[in-house]
Amino acid sequence: MKKLWTKAGVLSSASIAFCSMLWSQKNSLYELKLVQVLFRHGARTPLKSIPDVLEAQWVPTLLEPPAHTHINYVVTDLNGGPRPAAPVEDSYRRNTLTGGTYPGQLTTVGMQQLYELGKRLRRKYIEEIPFLSPTFSPAEVYVRSTNIVRTIESAKCLIAGLFQQKQKDIVHILTTEAESEILYPNYHGCKLLKIVGSHRWAESSTLPDIAADLQSIQEALGIAAHQNVDFILIRDDMVARETHGLPCPSVLSTWRNKVEQRAVDMICHVFEPSKRENLQLCVGLLLHTLLTNFEEKLQGTSSESNRKLLLYSAHDTTLMPCLMALGIFDKTWPPYAADITLELYQHRQTSEAFVKLSYIGQDQLIPGCSGVYCPLREFKQALSAYTLSSDTYQSLCNSTGGVTEP
């Protein structure tokens, strides 16, 4: 597994700046054709609280939306019909955190984070180069979200920042039912992923080093042995508290780096990036979709010929396997509002296509690419081991090969 992390050819800041400077000097020869942004939602309430420790007060005033994030929007299914049922969101609302709010809800801090991401995109694609219209246009911008309130609201806030609340048309945020979602590893809709994922999740806390550290931190925090906790749960609550300035158990400060390390160790075990099939099942269909969007734009076969920006509001568990498949995961948990941005360029004379990918605003050199501006053919080859068409994905999901649930 170590090879996977070290092979990621992340250039130094100076090298990337130099490459970008050289490119900018000749960018009159290159036309920006399409931008796709895959981003994590903003800061939220924790999914679960660490048991048996000092509780934070997650009060409703932490969720108040800033006035500048308001836009006129509607949530629909992929065909413009009513929003589908949301079983994941319903599961959050069966529980209440201390203070009176639900788990997993976007906070005021999170709303502002996505508004700021929208402003960053505005600076780049409206102010620095006139790529997008300064007012929201559904012909230019496609907005897609998982069917969970925090990602829907994150998309809304990004749009508010990007267009400064200027819109002639209502913003349609498209989503789909849980069984067919491609914007996260779909344990609901992929039978094989559910089985394999259940095994890997069950194993992740029992790995010797992780289990020993977990026992130590439980004892240090005074968490009863029978409580069902793991490092991902502890990290989730810890980071949520820190982000919102809420009190943490003092002992956690000495454990902070270990909690981060072990949470990443757990998620790496779950996604098991050394096995191609696991990442295929997690994000193969999403990666295929991103590449198809590029191809359709170049070939002029898209049903929306004027589309310039595609936004995908998703989760940390979306970004991590994508970063692993790209070979650029640095074993650091993606922060709230982290983004993977993919730009498609075309040479005005030769028509050759290039892709430039950035993560949290930093250009990345993808292993297998000859430069930061990666020829599309090289980019497709770099991802070819992980992309899956819909038919292949469904076939793989249904081929359980005698594997049974734990």
Annotated catalytic residues are 41, 316
Q: Are 122 and 32 in contact (CB under 8 A)?
A: no
Q: Are 210 and 262 in contact (CB under 8 A)?
A: yes
Q: Give me 106's structure tokens.
A: 């976007």
Residue 245: partners with Cβ closer than 8 Å, 6 or more residues away? none
The sign of the torsion formed by the CA atoms of 245, 251, 257, 261 equals negative
Which residues on neighbouring strands pair with residue 397, listed in sequence order?
none
Q: Give me 338's structure tokens.
A: 């982290």
> How many Å apart are CA 363 and CA 359, to the nearest integer?
7
3-state secondary structure the chain: CHHHHHCCCCCCHHHHHHHHHHHHHCHHHEEEEEEEEEEECCCECCCCCCCCCCCCCCCHHHHCCCHHHCCCEEEECCCCCECCCCHHHHHHCCCCCCCCCCCCCECHHHHHHHHHHHHHHHHHHHHHCCCCCCCECCCCEEEEECCCHHHHHHHHHHHHHHHCCCECCCEEEECCCHHHCCCCCCCCCCHHHHHHHHHHHHHHCCCHHHHHHHHHHHHHHCCCCCCCCCHHHHHHHHHHHHHCCCCCCCCHHHHHHHHHHHHHHHHHHHHCCCCHHHHHHHHHHHHHHHHHHHHHHHHCCCCCCCCCEEEEEECHHHHHHHHHHHCCCCCCCCCCCCEEEEEEEEECCCCCEEEEEEECCEECCCCCCCCCEEEHHHHHHHHCCCCCCHHHHHHHHHCCCCCCCC
* The residue to which tokens 């209502």 are assigned: 170
> How many Å apart are CA 45 and CA 31, to the nearest integer?
41
